[in-house]
Amino acid sequence: MTLAAIFIAGILAAGAGAEDGDVLFQASTIDALLEGVYDGDVTFSELGEHGDFGIGTVNALDGEMIALDGQFYQIRTDGKVYPVEEEKKTPFAAVTFFGADRTEEIRDIGGIEELERVLDGMLPSRNIFYAIRIDGEFDYIKTRSVPRQERPYPPLADVVKEQTVFELRGVKGTIAGFWCPAYVKGIGVPEYHLHFIAADRSAGGHLLDCRVKEAVCGIDDTGRFYMALPGTVDFLKTDLSGERSGALKKVEK
Ligand SMILES: [Zn+2]
């Protein structure tokens, strides 16, 4: 058998996430966020019922969100990490209950593209979802956060022009996020969407680049996807029929 065939045999034996009940729970759609729908109706307390791990943002687009071990954190443009109060809401988030189906030690990785190629080798199929958690030491981390917005909300591509970029060197911490199949286009972020938080919870954000010294990478195969759409007027009235792949590339990279 080829390596891919062995991987897939492993997934089939383990029940591909679909049978082991792993669900990626997502609030709203990425295209709604791109269009400036920055207020959702799912509270962080509700989000916590659907996962202890994940990424997203907070209402009014108030920074980058990362959830680890049931704790929800928000990284604002001041670069600081804040716990997210349970009553706050999210306009876009993806969470799951994380349990690695496989782990691998990785080291001496020179950049985000190299990391993505290494991770590619750990994903047995490009047709299911994966939660990814990388704990370790990083020679370099580059993240960004976005500034809290006031109504009327501008589109995300305009907000990202005002993003704040952070660079960290010699930092311990965790990269967390998801890999989604190409067919989620419009709903979620195809391929990798990763956030970072420092082990001492002093810094973090949406991951733009990194160099890995040594780390353990866990992959959670996820065969179910649940989407909770906002019942807000903003969401219901926004025209989401267009094609936004180009805009998405600009905001995520
Ligand atoms: Zn992000």
Measure 145 CA to ligand 1 centroid, in angstroms. 8
For residue range 96-135, list pLDDT tens digits in order: 999 999 999 999 999 999 999 999 999 999 999 999 999 9
Prior bond of 230 cis (ω within 30°): no
Residue type, 27: A
Secondary structure element (H or E) that encloses residue 218, with its range: strand 204-222
For residue range 168-212, list pLDDT tens digits in order: 999 999 999 999 999 999 999 999 999 999 999 999 999 999 999
Which of 11-20, 134-143, 244-253 is most confident? 134-143
Identify the burial level of 164 via C-beta atoms within 10 angstroms of its C-beta, where 0-12 means exposed, 13-18 middle and 19 or more buried: middle
Query: What is the rounded CA–CA span in Å between residue 42 and residue 19?
Result: 26
Structure tokens at 86: 């349970």
Measure 196 CA to ligand 1 centroid, in angstroms. 9
Q: Residue 60 phi/psi, 5° resolution?
A: 70, 15
Measure 55 CA to ligand 1 centroid, in angstroms. 7
Measure 65 CA to ligand 1 centroid, in angstroms. 8
For residue range 14-70, list pLDDT tens digits in order: 555 555 779 999 999 999 999 999 999 999 999 999 999 999 999 999 999 999 999
Identify the burial level of 188 via C-beta atoms within 10 angstroms of its C-beta, where 0-12 means exposed, 13-18 middle and 19 or more buried: buried
